[in-house]
Amino acid sequence: MSALARTRRAVRAVALVYALRALAAWILASPLARALNSTVAAQHPRGDAILFDAGGLELIESLRLSLGVLGSELKGALLIGTVLGALSVIPAAALLAALVEDEPSGPAEWVRRAVTLFPRFVLSFGARLFLQGAVLAVGALALGRLGRRLASSWPEQSADLSVLGLGLLVLAAASALGIYEDLFRVESARGATLGRALRQAGALLRARWLALGGSWLCLVACALVLPLLVAPLVGIVDVSRPGSWRLVVVTFLHQGVVLGMVAARAVWLAIVIELGSAPRAQRLPIDLQVPPSGPIPAEVEAHDTPPQPGE
């Protein structure tokens, strides 16, 4: 496949993931928005523009009045969100299939492969979320205690920054689980068996932790910076003022952010694929210029050999 064809395919895959994620978000957000809107804004001559007025009087009143309804809608949203979260594995797997596949293929083929991978991916997604939650909970508990201890003996800034630094390490540990899951899924998308995918993902993480970690940080930075960059612009456009064009502009800005984040994730997955394919990097069209940080273990070298009996 040519580089252009690969890029086109990646763009189509990104668009598919973005569209499905937007649909999922809309399904989840609609009842919440309806509940919030129903109390003050729905009957007001200015509609829900008042919820965005400076000072937050109407917004706080809407939250106050709709707290009960919002609570029950939130419970429903969590239930639907769990189902959608599990289903969102499919577009994510489709994206991966599109990126991994060497031969020309279309959305139908990606989705077919994604459905095949669904049981394994949904399992890894659940396991990753559970482990990340456990790491973050234990980390938060330990850091809370440490923070209280340091606060009484260390200068405040030093204590807070130390806790923050350790907190970043906890986040790095949680992120490593996410990186590991992505490596595992790439190997799975390439056809490795469950055991082999687990082993190869671990080996690759150990061998290329610096490159993977650096790339992951870029992805995280992108996810943080994009919304922060856009927020002041949204404030300037100010949807509380008359003019439906304001809402259009804000929608474009926000969806630009989301699209950028999905694209950044696709680039990250391409990097993972690239790093996992280092011995044959010359055959890959995407030159990401990420040098391997150490010798490739034999088990990684052999990652695309056919599975052995008993694996």
Partner 1 sequence: MSRLAEAAAGVGLALLGLALTVASADSQAQPSAGARPAAPPDGQPVRVASYRLEASLDAPAHRITGKGTLTWTNTSSEPTRELWFHLYLNAFKNDKTVFLRSPFGAGRSGDHGSDWGYIDVSRLVVRELGPDDLWARAARHSPGDPDDQTDIVVPLPAEVAPGATLHIDFEWQSRLPSIVERTGYSGSFHLLGHWFPKLARREPDGRWAHFAFHPQAEFYADFGSYDVTLDVPAEMVVGATGSQLRDERVGARRRLEFHADAVHDFAWTAFPDFRERREQIENVDVRFLYPPGHEANAAATVEAVRFALPRFSRLYGAYPHPTLTVVHPPEHARNAGGMEYPTFITTGGPWWAASSGLRMVEGVTVHELGHQWFQGVLASNEHQWPFLDEGLDTFAEMRAMSARHGAGSMVALPGLSVSGAAARRALAIRAGHDHPVAQPAERFSSFNSIGALVYARTAIALETIGNVWGHDALERALESYTRRERFRHPGPKSFLEDVRTHLGSDAHDALSAALFDKGWVDYELADLDCVQQGPARGVFGDGAERTTIASDGAQQRSCRALVRRKGTLRFPVDVELVFADGTRQRRRWQASEDWATFDAAGPSEVVAAVVDPDRNVLLDENLGNNSRRKRGEFGHRTLERMTYAVQLALGLIGP
Nearer to partner 1 by Cβ, of 143 and 239: the residue is 239
2 near partner 1, judged by CB under 8 A: no
Nearer to partner 1 by Cβ, of 93 and 203: the residue is 93
Number of residues that bind partner 1 (CB under 8 A): 71
By CB under 8 A, what part of segment 231-250 binds partner 1?
231-232, 234-235, 239, 247, 250
Nearer to partner 1 by Cβ, of 7 and 251: the residue is 251
Residues 16, 40, 192, 207: which binds partner 1 (CB under 8 A)?
40
Residue 184 CB, nearest approach to partner 1 (Å): 12
Residue 173 CB, nearest approach to partner 1 (Å): 16
Nearer to partner 1 by Cβ, of 38 and 105: the residue is 38
204 near partner 1, judged by CB under 8 A: no
47 near partner 1, judged by CB under 8 A: yes
Residues 10, 14, 36, 267: which binds partner 1 (CB under 8 A)?
36
Nearer to partner 1 by Cβ, of 21 and 190: the residue is 21
114 near partner 1, judged by CB under 8 A: no
SS3 of the chain: the string is: CCHHHHHHHHHHHHHHHHHHHHHHHHHHHHHHHHHHHHHCCCCCCCHHHHHHCCCCHHHHHHHHHCHHHHHHHHHHHHHHHHHHHHHCHHHHHHHHHHHHCCCCCCHHHHHHHHHHHHHHHHHHHHHHHHHHHHHHHHHHHHHHHHHHHHHHHCCHHHHHHHHHHHHHHHHHHHHHHHHHHHHHHHHHHCCCCHHHHHHHHHHHHHHCHHHHHHHHHHHHHHHHHHHHHHHHHHHHHCCCCCCHHHHHHHHHHHHHHHHHHHHHHHHHHHHHHHHHCHHHHHHCCCCCCCCCCCCCCHHHHCCCCCCCCCC
